[in-house]
Structure 1
Amino acid sequence: MLLEVKNLKTEFKMRKGIVKAVDDVSFSIDQGKVLAVVGESGSGKSVTSLSIMGLLQDPGKVTGGEVLFKGEDLLQKNKKEMQAIRGHHISMIFQEPMTSLNPVYKIKDQLTESIMLHMKLSKKEALERAVEMLELVGIPSARERADEYPHQMSGGMRQRVMIAMALACNPELLIADEPTTALDVTIQAQILELLGEMRKKFNMAVLLITHDLGVVSETADRVVVMYCGKVMENAEVKEIFANPLHPYTNGLLKSIPSLEDDSEEPLYMIRGMVPNPLKMPSGCPFSDRCEKCMERCRQEMPDLVDIGGHEVRCFMYSGEKEEA
């Protein structure tokens, strides 16, 4: 097992109370596999990735759990040890490349910095490696483009630069946080294809954070569905699409428009809104929006139960166990 997240808890201490952004989250990723984490905005996906990377800003703080990378707990590492791991063993593609790339530095300077730090190469060797990576991710005239600033590139090109930067030191785990956000459909397909090629080339694991279930169906091996900081469902990608158990997962799948659907019915929409994180309901966080809500759901938090390798947090399945 390459990465194991066990009972991770991350909180933000606010003036009006404590926000449990990540609440008892567990999952694992094998070498070379793709795990997708899906859910609406505010479900805790990005905070989970930042907690793993040790990049939380105040007032965010990891308050419990373990993040085991090759058996070592990253939460016990000091700042210097994490700097040696980030960019080398674990890399991250951030959600918006224009804000992630420094606008006052040329592309080559931003690429060569981490290469020189982690691979101990000279500046000339690092530049050659940077150009090689830009060519690898499909940027034409890579040597000339390396001499440009981020604002001189299109959104798709900047995203390719971010991928080149993330892969420059041959990481074992890549965290991709909404890697196709704000890109048009054609560029999205190119970026996803590129990530797939790079994963196979380097045999790296990928933690893909997205709200796009179409992307998930094409790229992931396993899916974790999050809602209000909790894991609601965790299963193989084929199982999630063929046999979704949680009402929230069902709602997400029913919300996807289909080219084969010729009915005149309006597109399905999950009713209600995500609850205020400072005023969470006492029971299941999805209870107010759930079409199958029982009285028990409003009073108690269901456990995450394992039904033959398919985990689900719902009282409809609380009587079933792995042997079922």
Structure 2
Amino acid sequence: MLLEVKNLRTEFKLKRGTVRAVDDVSFTIDKGEILAIVGESGSGKSVTSLSLMGLIQKPGGVAGGEILFKSQDLTKLSQKELQEIRGNKISMIFQEPMTSLNPVWRIKDQIMENIMTHMKMSKKEALARTVEMLDTVGIPSPAERANDYPHQMSGGMRQRVMTAMALSCEPDLLIADEPTTALDVTIQAQILELLYQMREKFNMAVLLITHDLGVVYEAADRVIVMYCGKIVEEADVKTLFEHPQHPYTVGLLQSIPQIDNESDEHLFMIKGMVPNPLHMPPGCSFSDRCDRCMERCTKEMPELQEINGHKVRCFLYDKAEEGELSAK
């Protein structure tokens, strides 16, 4: 087991109240596995990834739970100890490369800094490693492009630079937060193929944060669906797409446009809005948007139950004797 997250809670203490952005989240990632976390904006995906990296800033912070990386609890480490792991054993591709890259530093300087910090290489060795990594991620003429500034590159190339930087120290775990956002479909495909190749080459695990279910289907081994800071469903990718259980997951899948759909009906839309995290409704947080809501749903929060590796947080399902989740 490479990473085990147990009952993670991340909170932001504001003047108007406390926002629990990640609420009792538990999952595992094995070496070489791609785990995707999906959900609407505000579901807690990115906050979960930032919690793993120890990058939650005040007024936020990890309020409870454990983050066991190679059996070491990251929540117990000092910032100095975390810095030894960040960018080295655990790396992250941030959501927007243009704002993540320093606009006044050349590409080579930004990658070399990470290499020299963690791999204790000389400047000459770090430059050679930088050019090698840029070549690995498909940057043409890497020795020349290493001298460029971020604004001299396209969005797809900046995303490749971020990937090269994240992989430069051969991490055990790569966190990719919306790595294909704002890229056209051809570049998206190239970035996904690159992540898959790097996973194979370095035998690393990947935590893929996205709201794009098409990306999930192409890249992931397992999928976690989050809503309002909680995991509402978890399964392997094939099971989740073929047999979704939670009404929220069903709604997300129904919202995907179908090319072969000749119907003139409007695209399916989940009704309502994500509730205000400062004023969460009692019971299930999805109850006021759910077409199958029962009275119990408005009063109690269902537990996350598991049968044969498929987990779902919904009162519609009970543990069936035959070992499958069955709707009431």
- Name the TM-score class by shorter chain: over 0.9
1:98 aligns with 2:98: yes
Verify the 8 A CA contact 1:174 1:205 in the aligned structure 2.
yes
Within 5 Å, give how 1:106-125 maps onto structure 2: 106-125=106-125
- When structure 1 is superposed on structure 2, of 92-101 and 74-83 the one drifting more is 74-83
Partner of residue 242, structure 1: 242
Within 5 Å, give how 1:121-140 maps onto structure 2: 121-140=121-140
Partner of residue 51, structure 2: 51
Write the distance in 2 (CA, Å) between the matches of 1:222 and 1:321.
25
Residue identity (%): 72
Write the distance in 1 (CA, Å) between the matches of 2:227 and 2:46.
12
Deviations 1:219-252 (A, max 9, x none): 0000000000000001111110111000000000
Write the distance in 1 (CA, Å) between the matches of 2:203 and 2:229.
30
Report the alpha carbon displacement of residue 318 of structure 1 after superposing the two structures with TM. 4.0
Within 5 Å, give how 1:8-87 maps onto structure 2: 8-87=8-87
Write the distance in 2 (CA, Å) between the matches of 1:148 and 1:320.
60
Within 5 Å, give how 1:140-289 maps onto structure 2: 140-289=140-289
Write the distance in 2 (CA, Å) between the matches of 1:323 and 1:69.
31
Partner of residue 3, structure 1: 3
Write the distance in 2 (CA, Å) between the matches of 1:321 and 1:310.
15
Output the aligned Cα RMSD.
1.0
Verify the 8 A CA contact 1:92 1:174 in the aligned structure 2.
yes
Aligned with 1:277: secondary structure?
A: coil
Amino acid at match of 1:142: P
Deviations 1:106-143 (A, max 9, x none): 10100000101111100010000000000110001111
Report the alpha carbon displacement of residue 261 of structure 1 after superposing the two structures with TM. 1.2
TM superposition score normalised by structure 2: 0.97
Write the distance in 1 (CA, Å) between the matches of 2:149 and 2:40.
33
Aligned with 2:7: secondary structure?
A: strand
Q: 1:12 to 1:318 in 2, by over 3 A?
A: farther
Verify the 8 A CA contact 1:306 1:321 in the aligned structure 2.
no
Deviations 1:118-175 (A, max 9, x none): 1110001000000000011000111111111111111111000000000000001000
Verify the 8 A CA contact 1:31 1:203 in the aligned structure 2.
yes
Write the distance in 1 (CA, Å) between the matches of 2:175 and 2:231.
18
Amino acid at match of 1:90: I
- When structure 1 is superposed on structure 2, of 313-322 and 204-213 the one drifting more is 313-322
Q: 1:57 to 1:140 in 2, by over 3 A?
A: same
Verify the 8 A CA contact 2:307 2:319 in the aligned structure 1.
no
Report the alpha carbon displacement of residue 320 of structure 1 after superposing the two structures with TM. 4.3
Report the alpha carbon displacement of residue 323 of structure 1 after superposing the two structures with TM. 4.5
Verify the 8 A CA contact 1:307 1:322 in the aligned structure 2.
no
Amino acid at match of 2:205: A
Amino acid at match of 2:231: V
Write the distance in 2 (CA, Å) between the matches of 1:319 and 1:275.
29
Write the distance in 1 (CA, Å) between the matches of 2:104 and 2:194.
27
Deviations 1:172-211 (A, max 9, x none): 1000000001111111111111111111000100000000
Write the distance in 2 (CA, Å) between the matches of 1:319 and 1:297.
18
Verify the 8 A CA contact 1:309 1:322 in the aligned structure 2.
no
TM superposition score normalised by structure 1: 0.98
Write the distance in 2 (CA, Å) between the matches of 1:144 and 1:212.
34
Verify the 8 A CA contact 1:306 1:322 in the aligned structure 2.
no
Report the alpha carbon displacement of residue 322 of structure 1 after superposing the two structures with TM. 9.1
Amino acid at match of 1:5: V
Write the distance in 2 (CA, Å) between the matches of 1:268 and 1:63.
37
Verify the 8 A CA contact 1:305 1:321 in the aligned structure 2.
no
Write the distance in 1 (CA, Å) between the matches of 2:280 and 2:21.
11
Report the alpha carbon displacement of residue 97 of structure 1 after superposing the two structures with TM. 0.1
Verify the 8 A CA contact 1:308 1:322 in the aligned structure 2.
no
Partner of residue 292, structure 1: 292
Amino acid at match of 1:217: Y
Verify the 8 A CA contact 1:233 1:249 in the aligned structure 2.
yes
Aligned with 2:316: secondary structure?
A: helix
